[in-house]
Amino acid sequence: MSGWRLRLAFFVALLAAWEALYRLNLWPSYVFPSVSSVGASLVNGFGDGTYPLAIAVSLRRILIGYGLSLTIGIPLGLLLGRVKFVQDTLGSIVLGLQALPSICWLPLALLWFGLSERAILFVVVMGAVLSVTLSTADGVHNTPPLYLRAARTMGARGLMLYTRVILPAALPAIISGMKLGWSFAWRSLMAGELLYVSLGLGQLLTMGRELNDMAQVISVMFVIVAIGLSVDRALFSPIERRVRERWGLQHAA
């Protein structure tokens, strides 16, 4: 047994253990729900349209928030990696703010933007933008000097050097930053939605708690994991692998 079979067997065993534990009746079902009730909750949620609606709302938010993060983060990173003045000034702020969990921005965001969509987008952007910026800056900063020398001796300079050499050379790092930024954005969004009621998957979690419906809470958690993971696996990993392979950073498997 190897690879996916082993994994499948492991998960089946895990579910069986969960169900067995439930049947020992150690805890009331609103504390420790059964596998089947979580499954039923999933089916119901998709059946009556509440999950698809919540997913749509959350996805819309993350698309906007993540999109904004990239539009701000990548150019900022390009500046940060290349312009000494920006590095010495903004650079330290970016590094410092990176240490701040994005949900800490929520109180400020609520004061500035009120109970609005914009407040939550702000939290998402603050969560994702800095990691995108830092990775991009890193990539730019680590452009192999040899590429620059080769390009300069072939007559490339100024903006041309930037668009044709530095930017593509930094692409693997930029993609890593985008991937990291995505997972930060997703976490920030869930945290924001949890604390501040407004549709979306995070609110479904809060609702489940308020209704003592642990089956719903766990089934929504599954949905959140599934979305986060599938974007990572289906979108970023293949792109990252291809780029790293072509850039000679890793050998073809």
Partner 1 sequence: MKLELRSVSKTFLSRRGDIRALQDISLNVAAGEFVCLLGPSGCGKSTLLNLIAGLERPDAGEVRVDGRAVAGPGRDRVVIFQEAALFPWLNVQDNVAFGLAAAGAPKSEQRDKAKQYLRLVRLGSFRRAFTHELSGGMKQRVALARALALEPQVLLMDEPFAALDAQTRDSLHDELQDIWAQTGKTIIFVTHNVREALVLGERVLLMSARPGRIKREFKCELPRPRHIEDHALVDATRQVLDDLREEVLKAQQEEVERERLAA
Alpha helices in the chain (DSSP H): 4-23, 35-47, 50-82, 84-98, 106-113, 117-141, 145-153, 159-161, 167-195, 200-210, 214-231, 237-246
Tokens of 135: 């990775």
Residue 164 Cβ vs partner 1, minimum distance, rounded to whole Å: 7
Can you tell me which of 149, 211, 226, 229 binds partner 1, judged by CB under 8 A? 149
Can you tell me which of 42, 165, 178, 191 binds partner 1, judged by CB under 8 A? 165
Cβ atoms of 151 and 161 closer than 8 Å: yes
Determine if 146 is a binding residue for partner 1 (CB under 8 A): yes
Burial class (CB in 10 A: 0-12, 13-18, 19+), 117: middle
Stretch that binds partner 1, among 62-70, 116-124, 156-164, 178-186 (CB under 8 A): 156-164
Determine if 153 is a binding residue for partner 1 (CB under 8 A): yes
Closer to partner 1 by CB, 69 or 176: give it: 176
Stretch that binds partner 1, among 19-27, 56-64, 147-155, 200-208 (CB under 8 A): 147-155
CA 45 centroid distance within chain:
24
Residue 13 Cβ vs partner 1, minimum distance, rounded to whole Å: 41
Determine if 242 is a binding residue for partner 1 (CB under 8 A): no
Closer to partner 1 by CB, 59 or 171: give it: 171
Query: How far apart are the C-alpha atoms of 229 and 226, rounded to whole Å?
Result: 5
Contacting residues for 170 by C-beta, under 8 A, at least 6 apart? 78, 81, 136, 139, 140, 142, 143
Determine if 155 is a binding residue for partner 1 (CB under 8 A): yes
Cβ atoms of 240 and 179 closer than 8 Å: yes
Determine if 248 is a binding residue for partner 1 (CB under 8 A): yes
Stretch that binds partner 1, among 19-27, 173-181, 199-207, 241-249 (CB under 8 A): 241-249
Determine if 173 is a binding residue for partner 1 (CB under 8 A): no
Stretch that binds partner 1, among 32-40, 85-93, 162-170, 185-193 (CB under 8 A): 162-170
Site string for partner 1, 57-76 (x = CB under 8 A): --------------------
Nearest to 94 by CA among 113, 118, 72: 72
Contacting residues for 119 by C-beta, under 8 A, at least 6 apart? 106, 109, 110, 112, 113, 192, 196
The 10 Å CB-count burial string (b at 16+, else e) for 197-232 is eebbbbbbbbbbeeeebbbbbbbbbebbeebbeebe
Residue 131 Cβ vs partner 1, minimum distance, rounded to whole Å: 23
Determine if 247 is a binding residue for partner 1 (CB under 8 A): yes
Determine if 38 is a binding residue for partner 1 (CB under 8 A): no
Give the footprint of partner 1 on this chain (CB under 8 A). 146-147, 149-156, 160, 164-165, 168-169, 171, 245-248, 252
